[in-house]
Amino acid sequence: MSELLINELKNKYACQIKENEPLKAYTSFKIGGCAKYVVFPQEKDSLAGIVRELKEQGVKYTVIGNGSNLLVPDDGYDGVAIITTGIKNISCEGEILHAGCGASLIKLSVSALENSLTGLEFAYGIPGSVGGAVYMNAGAYVSEISEILHKCVCYDTLADEMLTLDNKACDFSYRNSIFEQNESRYVILEASFLLKRGNKDDIRAMMDDFMSRRREKQPLEYPSAGSAFKRAPGYFTAKLIDDAGLKGYSIGGAQVSEKHAGFIINTGSASASDVLSLMEHIKTTVKERFGVDIEGEIRILE
Ligand SMILES: Cc1cc2nc3c(=O)[nH]c(=O)nc-3n(C[C@H](O)[C@H](O)[C@H](O)COP(=O)(O)OP(=O)(O)OC[C@H]3O[C@@H](n4cnc5c(N)ncnc54)[C@H](O)[C@@H]3O)c2cc1C
């Protein structure tokens, strides 16, 4: 990848670019090696423009939001990591909240509260960005993004055009969407959410309740990427892992949390290969014990 191209991007899109930057600083797992370059666009048109140019030049790239569902390999990423968290605008129009792809989901739920809008309480506590949450249809406490997404503006890298997708076109299902199905074809630029008028005290009470349940049940004191596995149809995956006797099991610095068996935590010095080995061990053990196939939820950067 040429220095020239990188300098061109820097000047054209007025974005910060870092070279040989440790990606672990941008993930909730705090694991992984360096990216050749990390680019920080500050607005959605720059994000689309940067992606278009990198794609045209055949340069390997990836889009990262808050890095809270991501495992970066120990040998890093030999390409350009584009981090969206600078695109963080949030605005309210009646019962609709608009947000840039890099806006924090937690801030979005607080904004819903401030505007007396209900429907986003479940997202209070999910440490992702709007783009990452739409990408994987994030959810909690029997609600998910698909229930409130109004529209989503994205850049289609294959057709080289901007698209506005409505809820149906996003083809949401459990932790899945058109974006996840097509991996890196679409870059989510912004999204809007249709909420309902509600009572501020009730909204706040529900948010506080969800947050205290998280604090009580999840190992928030350790770096992690949330639930390591998806729900297997008909089963609670964390219970399967627990029943297989794996709570507390560790490989290197990666451990099945004692507090919540669905979480793999970094006890301080975990490598990506520790996490991957542990995930494999969990899958094999659960399959042997209960005959159930479980699927990873964490995106592994390649
Ligand atoms: C303590 C903890 C608790 C969690 N609790 C929950 C929970 O209750 N429910 C839940 O669903 N998840 C949970 N998660 C996981 C995570 O927060 C969510 O999956 C979140 O939606 C990921 O968003 P992100 O911005 O961090 O995505 P990233 O990790 O940055 O990226 C994840 C994927 O999304 C893609 N992506 C990100 N932004 C864009 C974009 N703009 N355009 C296209 N693709 C994009 C990336 O390429 C990548 O493939 C938890 C994580 C932690 C650490």
For the domain that residue 144 is a member of, what is the CATH number? 3.30.465.10
Of 129, 45, 50, 125, give the one whose Cα is nearest residue 84: 129
- From the CB of 63, is ligand 1 less than 6 Å away? yes
User: What's the pLDDT band for 1 if we cut at 50, 70, 90?
Assistant: low
Of 39, 63, 214, 28, give the one whose Cα is nearest residue 135: 63
The rounded distance, in Å, linking the Cα atoms of 170 and 75 is 34
Domain region containing 42: 3-83
pLDDT of residue 233: 87
Ligand 1 atom nearest to 27, measured from its CA: 29
Q: What is the mean pLDDT of the chain?
A: 96
**pLDDT tens digits, 90-103:** 999 999 999 999 99
- From the CB of 228, is ligand 1 less than 6 Å away? no
- Residue of 42, 70, 126 with the most ligand 1 atoms within 8 Å of its CB, for mutation: 126
Of 37, 59, 56, 75, give the one whose Cα is nearest residue 300: 75
- Look at residue 272 and tell me whether its pLDDT is greater than 90: yes
Mean pLDDT of 161-189: 95
Examine the domain organization and report whether 33 and 18 are in the same domain.
yes
- Look at residue 2 and tell me whether its pLDDT is greater than 80: no
38 or 183, greater pLDDT: 38
Examine the domain organization and report whether 266 and 187 are in the same domain.
no
Sign of CA dihedral 166, 168, 170, 176: positive
* pLDDT > 90 in the chain, percent: 93
Per the structure block, which two tokens stand in for 17? 């670019």
Sign of CA dihedral 152, 155, 157, 163: positive
* pLDDT > 70 in the chain, percent: 100
Examine the domain organization and report whether 134 and 48 are in the same domain.
no
- Tell me which residue has its CA closest to atom 39 in ligand 1: 131
Is there a domain that residue 209 lies in?
no
- Look at residue 284 and tell me whether its pLDDT is greater than 90: yes
Is there a domain that residue 215 lies in?
no
Is there a domain that residue 44 lies in?
yes
- Look at residue 60 and tell me whether its pLDDT is greater than 90: yes
User: What's the pLDDT band for 84 if we cut at 50, 70, 90?
Assistant: very high
The rounded distance, in Å, linking the Cα atoms of 261 and 255 is 9
Structure-token match 């080995």, residue found: 277
Is the backbone of residue 248 left (phi > 0), alpha (psi -120 to 50) or beta? left
Mean pLDDT of 78-105: 97
Structure-token match 């600083």, residue found: 25
| DSSP tag of 301 | P
pLDDT of residue 133: 98
Q: What does pTM read for this prediction?
A: 0.96
The rounded distance, in Å, linking the Cα atoms of 89 and 8 is 26
Contact 227, 299 (CB under 8 A): no
Catalytically active residues, by annotation: 175, 227, 297
Cα-to-centroid distance, 133 and ligand 1 (Å): 5
Examine the domain organization and report whether 289 and 257 are in the same domain.
yes
Examine the domain organization and report whether 68 and 53 are in the same domain.
yes
Mean pLDDT of 225-242: 94
- Domain total of the chain: 3
β 70-71/299-300 pair status:
parallel
Per the structure block, which two tokens stand in for 7? 């300098």
